[in-house]
Amino acid sequence: MREEHRQTLVHTARDMLARLDNNTIDLAPDILSLAASLYSDQSRFEQENMQLFRRVPLMLAASCELPEPGHYKALEVAGVPVLLVRSADGQARAFLNSCTHRGSQLAEGCGKAARFTCPYHGWTFNNTGQLLGVASQASYGDVNKAELGLVSLPALESAGLIWVVLNPASTLDIHSFLHGVDGLLAGFDLEHWQPYHQCTLPGANWKLAFDAHMDFYHLPVLHRDTFGPTISNLAQYYFHGPHQRLGLMSANSVEQDGLHSLRGLPEQEWPTNALLFGEWIVFPNVSLNCFVAGERIMVISQVIPGDTPDSSLTIQTYLTENKPDADSEPKVRELVDFIQRVVGEEDLPMSRKQQVALSSGLLPQVQFGRNEVGLQTYYHWLEQALAAADDAELNQLFSAAEPLSA
């Protein structure tokens, strides 16, 4: 980790410890009201798919999901089938998961392959996207294979995570968009972790499902039987461009063990693991949470829009720093089951109940309190990104944000 990023983490930890001692958080100037239709309107939903999910870089996988050359992962986001591959040169690449003959998808799920053969007509591509062979080419006709390779999508691998832009013609600067948050996340060293478990959970509008990740206000109420009624409902937010980080204002061990372990140590001895406490939000739809239960466990949640405004999918990917052994496996499994239950049986059912009311059209506005600074800031960024006319304006938007500093 670069020294400037460590100093940012140290500054955040120092600030958070002082706030815990004083029980203070930053508050927004006022309550924010937004039209409730942003969760149900069809035109708004279509705008978000086209102007957000098909324009900004999306974190689509952890590097360790493609550990070796030949590994691939296929998924669909905002109506775009994506094929992620680790090529022979070790580079992570992204393609439209579509044969250039007539659009058949080449792969499903995850696996390992040196080449991909179309299941419809048998055209074959290698994992750098080149067209290798056309079935029955003598009768098919002349083909310029160099011009019919897979459609490549801009991709960047950094901090053990893979970002992709779902637009082959994009001119968006991914580094500018990340705004240094990848330098901070690099402290987790995720490229050396192990995939443990993945599940997909259905939910309501993608923003309703994602709101809960930036909202600690609900913890002691909705999660009183899981996290417990004494857990704090206050969060301190730290912002890095459009991305953010939440620290829980509580001595509860669920989130703050790492932070509290810093007390009494000289700052130069503060371990990186402890400095990475809290929840990380990667704009526009991903959260990362690290827990300790037998092993260090990273929970990556990707919230993907569904086919309609009132549907979404939350993809939970669980990584472990080390492969669990016989002693740690039960603790890891218990934590994974617990988090999956909290999200699948408490958060997402609540979002579906919200959806019913909001889709009725009878509630004109929703409210975000002064204590919900992260949500207010998130919707500010969301509206700016949607309003940007093109990639040039998006680049200007992200580059103009305040730089990372300690």
Last residue of a domain, one of 143, 171, 199: 171
pLDDT, mean of residues 349-367: 97
pLDDT grade for 402, boundaries at 50, 70 and 90: low
**What average pLDDT does this structure show over 197-222?**
97
Highest mean pLDDT among 34-38, 244-248, 397-401: 34-38
pLDDT at 269 over 60: yes
- Residue 178: which pLDDT band, with cuts at 50, 70 and 90? very high
Classify residue 61: in a domain, yes or no.
no
Q: Is the pLDDT of residue 256 over 80?
A: no
Q: Is residue 158 part of a domain?
A: yes
Question: Do both 392 and 318 map to the same domain?
Answer: yes
- Per-residue pLDDT at 251: 60
Q: What's the number of domains the chain is made of? A: 2
- pTM for the full predicted model: 0.95
Per the document, the length of the chain is: 406
197: buried, middle or exposed (CB in 10 Å: 19+, 13-18, 0-12)?
Answer: middle
Average pLDDT over residues 66-93: 97
The fraction of the chain above a pLDDT of 90, given in percent, is: 91
The average confidence (pLDDT) of the chain is 95
pLDDT, position 252: 54
Q: What is the DSSP letter of 17?
A: H
In-domain check, residue 201: yes
DSSP label at residue 49: I
Give how far Cα 61 sits from Cα of 200, 227, 279, 354, 356, Å: 14, 28, 18, 29, 32
Alpha carbons 115 and 97: distance in angstroms, whole number = 13
**Looking at the predicted structure, is the pLDDT value of residue 257 above 80?**
no
- Does residue 181 lie within any of the structural domains? yes
**Residue 404 falls inside a structural domain:** no
What's the pLDDT score for residue 230? 86
Query: E strands within 159-242?
Result: 161-164, 194-203, 235-240
State residue 404's pLDDT score: 45
CB–CB of 287/211 below 8 Å?
no
Q: What is the per-residue pLDDT for 283?
A: 98
Residues 116 and 181 in one domain: no
SS3 300: strand
pLDDT at 405 over 50: no
**Is 60 exceeded by the pLDDT of residue 255?**
no
How far is the CA of 321 from the CAs of 180, 195, 340, in angstroms? 23, 9, 19
pLDDT higher than threshold 70 for residue 160? yes
Q: Do 18 and 81 belong to one domain?
A: no
The residue segments making up the domain with residue 394 are: 3-55+176-399
Query: Could you tell me which of 45, 47, 39, 41 has the C-alpha nearest to residue 366?
Result: 39
Residue 403 has pLDDT above 60, yes or no: no
Alpha helical stretches, state H, 196-316: 206-211, 219-222, 253-260, 272-275
Query: Is 295 domain-assigned?
Result: yes
Where b means 16+ CB within 10 Å and e means fewer, 198-233 reads eeebebbbbbbbbbbbbbbbebbebbeeebeeebbe
390 half-sphere exposure, CB direction, 13 A CA radius: 3
Residue 123 tokens read as 């055209």
257 and 390 part of one domain? yes
Local confidence band at 1 (pLDDT 50, 70, 90 cut-offs) = confident
Q: Which of 234, 227, 223 is nearest to 349 (CA)?
A: 223
pLDDT at 249: 84
pLDDT average, residue stretch 85-92: 96
Residues 180 and 160 in one domain: no
pLDDT at 406: 33
Same domain, 280 and 310: yes
Answer whether residue 48 is part of any domain. yes
In a domain, 384, yes or no: yes
Residue ending a domain, choose from 119, 149, 171: 171
Q: What is the CATH number of the domain that holds 159?
A: 2.102.10.10
Rounded to 10°, the helix 3-22/253-260 angle is 120
Percent of the chain residues past pLDDT 70, beyond the cut: 97
Specify the CATH number for the domain of residue 235: 3.90.380.10
377 and 247, same structural domain?
yes
Tens digit of each residue's pLDDT (9 = 90 or more) over 108-148: 999 999 999 999 999 999 999 999 999 999 999 999 999 99
Out of 152, 171, 190, pick the residue that ends a domain.
171
Q: Please tell me whether residues 215 and 154 are part of one structural domain.
A: no
Residues 268 and 138 in one domain: no
Question: Using an 8 Å Cβ cutoff, are 205 and 322 in contact?
Answer: no
Q: Are 83 and 150 in contact (CB under 8 A)?
A: yes
| Cβ atoms of residues 113 and 107 within 8 Å | yes
Ranges 54-58, 76-80, 282-286, 292-296: which has the least confidence: 292-296
Give the SS3 label for residue 406: coil
Instruction: Clarify whether residues 152 and 223 are in a common domain.
Output: no
My answer on whether 252 and 198 are in the same domain is yes
Do residues 326 and 264 share a domain? yes
Phi/psi of residue 346, nearest 5 degrees: -125, -60
